[in-house]
Amino acid sequence: MRTETIDSEYAFDNAAAEAVPQLRALEAFLDPITMRRLAPPVLCQAARCWEVGAGGGSVAHGMAWAVGADGHVLATDIDTSRLAPTANLDVRRHDVRTELPPGAAFDLVHARLVLLHLPERRHILRSLTGALAPGGWLVVEEFDCTAPLRVLTAPNDDAAKLFGQVADAMLGILQGHGADLAWAQDVHAEMTYAGLVDVDTVTHAESWAGESSGASLYETNSRQLEPELLEAGFTPGQLEAFRKLLRDPAFAVMSYEFVSTRGRRLPG
């Protein structure tokens, strides 16, 4: 199968119909982990927050609830079509690759599954650090996609093999768009080099059975990346068999490892 370098544009399209189930599946899997990582003292009443690459907006809304009426959340994305403002939550189109941060005194800056995709990730991490108020927190969360895919159960060997081929090809396509599948491993050191203190990292992985929202991520991703998967040599029948497998309770795979790293700018 062929997966060559194409360009460095973000690979997915928030405006596509498949983006809704894709973002919802991410949120169902990750929001409980993220909200634990953002618990006080990271996210406090009256805080000013910036949610970078906010996607479907669930974390931004969680932050807006937590900071209360005296706090404020700014949710930015290159595509804001899935984001809705509220009284203390503003939505703004913003390209974190090319634009300066929309402020310089945030108590919390959070970016989940964004920098991984962007070739300028190291520079962006420095720029996010520069947007923190003294004592402010930066939380960066990514998938580490370096471990070999681990199919736990499958109806037969051919199905497990097809799963591995399509899933690997999708990772190759993302790399072709500039993603660094190992970036999650570097975030802790990059935060330390950027001068943040109290840097800590936790990881999480779990099994995704057929029909689960985790497994459905592979299906929605395969729909979003279908033109490139076909170009890489997969047939429509193979992609349909892949999607059927993801709805089969006899199938289970280990998730990617989710790596959550946070650090704080020195107070005062």
Ligand X SMILES: C[S@@+](CC[C@H](N)C(=O)[O-])C[C@H]1O[C@@H](n2cnc3c(N)ncnc32)[C@H](O)[C@@H]1O
Q: Are strands 72-77 and 257-264 parallel, antiparallel or unpaired?
A: unpaired
CB of 56 to ligand X, least distance (A): 6
**Considering only CA atoms, which of 230, 248, 249 is closest in space to residue 238?**
230
> Among the candidate windows 65-73, 77-85, 197-205, 249-257, which touches ligand X by CB under 6 A?
77-85
Q: Residue with the closest Cβ to ligand X?
A: 55
Check the CA dihedral 45-49-91-28 and report its sign. Answer: negative
CB of 206 to ligand X, least distance (A): 17
Q: Using CB under 6 A, which of 43, 63, 96, 170 touches ligand X?
A: 96
Site string for ligand X, 9-48 (x = CB under 6 A): -x---x--------x--xx---------------------
97 contributes a contact to ligand X by CB under 6 A: yes
Q: Using CB under 6 A, which of 53, 71, 172, 263 touches ligand X?
A: 53
Taking the least distance from each CB to ligand X, the nearer of 78 and 199 is: 78
Q: Which residues contact 98 (CB under 8 A, 6 or more apart)?
A: none
**Considering only CA atoms, which of 240, 237, 236 is closest in space to residue 248?**
240
Task: Return d(Cα 68, Cα 205) in angstroms, integer.
Answer: 32
151: helix, strand or coil:
strand
**Considering only CA atoms, which of 85, 15, 88, 97 is closest in space to residue 53?**
97
Check the CA dihedral 33-146-108-87 and report its sign. Answer: negative
113 contributes a contact to ligand X by CB under 6 A: yes
> Among the candidate windows 89-97, 154-162, 181-189, 251-259, which touches ligand X by CB under 6 A?
89-97
Taking the least distance from each CB to ligand X, the nearer of 116 and 159 is: 116
78 contributes a contact to ligand X by CB under 6 A: yes
Helix (H) or strand (E) holding 64: helix 58-67
Taking the least distance from each CB to ligand X, the nearer of 23 and 154 is: 23
**Residues at the interface with ligand X (CB under 6 A):** 10, 14, 23, 26-27, 53-56, 77-79, 95-97, 112-114, 117-118
